Each structure stands twice: as structure tokens, then as C-alpha cells.
Amino acid sequence: MKTPIFTGSCIAIITPFKDGGRKIDYDKFEKIINYQIEHKTDAICVCGTTGEAPTLTDPEHISAVRFCCEVVGGRIPVIAGTGSNDTAHAVMLSNEVEKCGADALLLVTPYYNKTSQEGLIKHYYHIADNVNLPMVLYNVPSRTGVNIQPETYLELSKHPRINAVKEANGDISSVAKTRALCGDELVMYSGNDDQIFPITAYGGKGVISVLSHVAPEVAHDIAALAVAGEYEKSRAMQLEWLDLCNALFCDVNPIPVKAAMNLMGWDVGDCRLPLPRLSDAKTEFLASVMRKHGLIA
């Protein structure tokens, strides 16, 4: 049986920028990290998709992970994104973030060059054989063009360092089949905020969340209630906040969540290109949903 790296909600944290996006705003980063810990967030995932890892240089990437680990100071687990479509590069990044103090690794499936199911097994086994930290696989076929099949999860779950998956394929039937095949040998986390309840009700242990940026207690409670078997309460909260979960994906992530944080006064800057600023129409739509939930005036 695999021990979960965390239970509840893990923020897939943004990377705040300053100077027109040229530099990471470490002062703001520290404030966001501390705010999240103070508001029930159970873990932090740094330098993932929401953290704009594709536009961070390797030195920026490693520096951001090191800074996050230092600020967290062991209060909650830090999961560092180190996925790549170059297996050797993923190993290199993984070994570097281990030196920074990360507790676990998040590894997205190879993208663009993609691979087969056999290739996924060889890719992840090679990484697992060359790192020391527990691994969380990240399955997000809408971005990568690759979907990990349940039977592939079964093979991957046999490696002791392959601990969990952040599942964002949107297919609840596939989630059920994976849980039936792997049981407790593969921890499952929802990678979509609109599916925290159903995935956790199937035996998942929580969510790696974008919603946490603007409503950390809500993301935590939806997951924690379901893990505790409080299904009625969890389902009610999931449905109550479903509109905001969807609004935060009205454009390519993390464009909307950075706009939402700026609306709340965080001043986290814009995304780096090729991600543009959220349009005026979508910003007003997002703001209207946030007003409904009392997040902005």
C-alpha cells in the first residue's frame, strides 16, 4: 500500500512575476505561500503548469523550488514539477529539486513528441530508477496528447517510487477502472477542481488545485469531507462552487487564475508569453462569478 504524500488540497501554485514578467516576484511568492498554509492548504505543488514551468529557465525553476521549500520550512509537503518530454532532462531536474528540499515530484506525461503506452512505462520507470523522491504522475491529455490507460497505471503502480497520479483526463469511467485495477498501490488525486468530489468518492485522497488560489478553505473542505466519508456535505460544496471552478478555466490556465488574483488585489503580474492577458469580456465574466461568492466587492 502506498502512503499518500498529502490528503486534502494541494495548491498548484502560480509563479508571480514583476518587471513586466522578466523576474519572479519572490516577495509576493512568500506571501502567497504563507497565506495558503494559514488557510488550510495541505501541500504546495510548485513549478507545474499553473506555475508556468514551460517559460521558466532551468535556473529560475530550481530557484523557485528552493525558495518555496525554504519558506514552507517543512510545515506541509512541497511537490516540485519536474516533468519533461526529454526523459534525461526530467531526471536532471528531479535530482536538482531534491537538493532544494522538495518532498515529492510531479511528472507530466511526455508532450509534443508524445509516446506509446510502452514508452510511458519505460519513461517513468527510468526516472523512478534514477531519483530518490516519491513520484506523482500527471495525466492531462488535453495538453499533452497522451492519455495514460488504466492497464498502464497498473504496471506503473508496481514501482515503489511511483506513488500517485494527478488525474486530469476528465474521464470518470477511466478513474473507476484505474482504482479497480490499482487499489491502494496508486494514490489518486483529482487534477480538475470540478471533479474533486467524484474522484475522492472513488477513493482518491484529494486535489491538486487551481481553485485554492482564491478559495483555499473551500478546496480543502470539499476534498477533506469526501475523504472522511461526509459525502453529502462534500457534494453540496462541490456543486455550490462549480461555477467558479469552471470560470477559472474560461481561458487557458493560468490566465484566468492570475486575473482572479489580481482582481483580489494580489498584484501577481501577467503570464509570460505565449499566454496573453485575459480579455475584458472574460475578466468581467470571471469577476461576476467571484462577486457572487463574495470574493471581491
Which of the residues are catalytic? Answer: 138, 166
Strand partners, 108: 138
Strand runs (DSSP E) across the chain, as ranges?
Answer: 8-12, 17-18, 23-24, 43-46, 78-81, 104-108, 135-139, 162-167, 187-190, 206-209
Alpha-carbon distances, residue 8 vs 12, 22, 30 (angstroms): 13, 34, 22
CB 178 within 8 A of CB 156: no
Cα radius of gyration rounded to whole Å, the chain:
18
Q: How far is CA 181 from the centre of its chain?
A: 24
User: What is 90-123 written as a DSSP string?
Assistant: HHHHHHHHHHHT-SEEEEEPP-SS---HHHHHHH
* SS3 state of residue 163: strand
Angle (deg, nearest 10), helices 255-263 and 280-292? 60
DSSP 296: -
Please state, in angstroms and rounded to a whole number, the distance separating the CA atoms of residues 256 and 163: 30
